[in-house]
Amino acid sequence: MRFVIVTCALLFGGAVAAQQAADAVAPEVSTGAEMGMSGPVEAQDWMIAVANPLAVRAGADVLRDGGTAADAMVAVQAVLGLVEPQSSGLGGGAFLVWYDAGSGALTTLDGRETAPLEATPRLFQDTQGTPLKFFDAVIGGRSVGTPGTPALMAEAHSRWGRKDWASLLEPAITLAQEGFAVSPRLAGLVARDAERLATHPDTAAYFLPGGVPVQQGSLLRNPAYAETLRHLAQDGVEAFYTGEIARDIVTEVRGAAGNPGVLSQTDLAIYKIKERAPVCVPYREHEVCGMGPPSSGALTVGQILGMLNHHDLAVLGPGSPQAWRLIGDASRLAFADRGRYMADSDFVPVPVKGLIADDYLAERAALLSGYRALDSVAPGAPEYDHALNWGDDDAIERPSTSHVSIVDADGNALSLTTTIENAFGSRVMVRGFLLNNELTDFSFRSHRDGVPVANRVEPGKRPRSSMAPTIVMTDGVPRLVIGSPGGSRIIGYVAKTIIAWADWGMDIQSALSYPHAVNRFGTYDLEAGTSAEALQAPLEALGYKTSVRDLNSGLHAIEIGHTLKGAADPRREGIAIGE
């Protein structure tokens, strides 16, 4: 078998041997797309693309040894929680999309965090009912929801794994015990967030030893994390949700100085993974499938692409301001619907079928028929089988998160987006891992203009997310496995990459690397340091406000055809490996 690996020359300073690349730690790259990236890596049997070389290697070893994509994901997530703790980990949540090669079935699993049973719709309001400032809500225990990632790892393994559970945690245990080199990205983020990290004693001791941020290249050990994983290896995931680990989580959350939370051991003990119906929307000759509510990812990506299905982007091409007008205003219309209708469908009726119905998307697409930016956008009126009276949401979703794409030798495909929400989550650390701040993905307002907000806080509810793990199907089989971090910009990153691949004929690496231009709420964000800046004047002439800024996605994708083609986002530290 041929061992292949893709890296960014700028990240790793040129071609390196496969083993060196897997061991290497990449420097921070913030300018984005045009970095001389080579084409996608090709392989025959299996492929994995993940945000950190050490995590990729752990997953690749599992796949090389005959493990499934689900097995590899368990090993990858355990390592990511150690080497990329600001983005995901045992204290967070995730969504998983799985294609089963044997049955041809597509399954989506919801490992999103839940609001504690003691939470109320006024959780993020002061005594006068005024919404808190974002970081006043985030830092401490108030923002912590019941973690779902460990349960999702176990559920996926029980359904589709074949390797011994404990063996899949061993790579992370070894790294935690022996130490790993701090990557430039982690070091930079720690330095940037040092003041907030200092608010919790265990967090400060780990990331700011002696009051100094951990340095790039220094060896960082986490024996507490190793011990936590040993408990999970020996006793299964129940060890996380009951017993001493659960007790310690609750103690830290409820005892957080100045901003305690209301998570209880009961919340942990009753947590369950939920299987949801996939959301699939036709685009060109494909079907774009992903996670439904409480994720807004598949619905909003699907709405954008469904509207654009009525316009010929291939003829316009990627350099056309009119192409980006169509993409930008389709996104604005979809985000207007997202703000009003999308939330946890176990608590509010979400018009899923109505939002992606052909006639509704055609009606919304007709709004794009002009030549200038829409003066304003508003939610539409999709077909709805319940009373329809919701207030618009203004929940803040900060970029962080990580994405995993895997195809195994059996042809199973896995797309997983995993997060603790804001970088470093709540900044509360327990037993070697950080706890999420996912509850701040709820609307801080319970009502607007006297009308309830669909995404308001409620006990047991899962906050709306923009995570969009996606599998693009063609004639019933997967063609593309993709997803990204990036807060609410995830939706734009994924949609742009699918358009670049499906409409503009780019290979998957070129599509990932292509400069970002994202419009959610009216202002067009253009990726700094790339050719996207050339769109600024034309888009402003069309009536848009623009903002040139870093757009640090973390797309990881695999194209499935006669061979497997893997791609990693050059804006981050990830790589793709296959054989």
CA 449 to chain centre: 32
CA distance 435 to 43: 37
Phi, psi of 344 (to 5 degrees): -70, 115
Question: What is the set of active-site residues?
Answer: 401
Of 550, 544, 545, which Cα lies nearest the Cα of 530? 550
Q: For strand 545-549 and strand 523-527, is the pairing parallel, antiparallel, or unpaired?
A: parallel
Q: What is the DSSP secondary-structure string of 380-433?
A: -----SS----BPP-----S--EEEEEE-TT--EEEEEEE-SSTTTTS-EETTE
3-state secondary structure of 183: coil
CA distance 86 to 81: 8
- Residue the block writes with tokens 């530290």: 573
For 465-530, where are the E strands, in sequence order? Answer: 470-474, 477-483, 517-519, 523-527
CA distance 117 to 266: 8
For 223-352, where are the E strands, in sequence order? Answer: 274-276, 279-283, 286-290
Q: What is the DSSP secondary-structure string of 323-377?
A: HHHHHHHHHHHHHHHHHHH-S-TTTS---HHHHT-HHHHHHHHGGG-SSS--S--
For residues 576 and 76, the answer to whether their CB atoms sit within 8 Å is: no
Of 575, 539, 570, which Cα lies nearest the Cα of 552? 570
Longest dimension (CA), the chain: 66
For the record, the structure tokens of 55 come out as 């995590």
Phi, psi of 493 (to 5 degrees): -60, -45
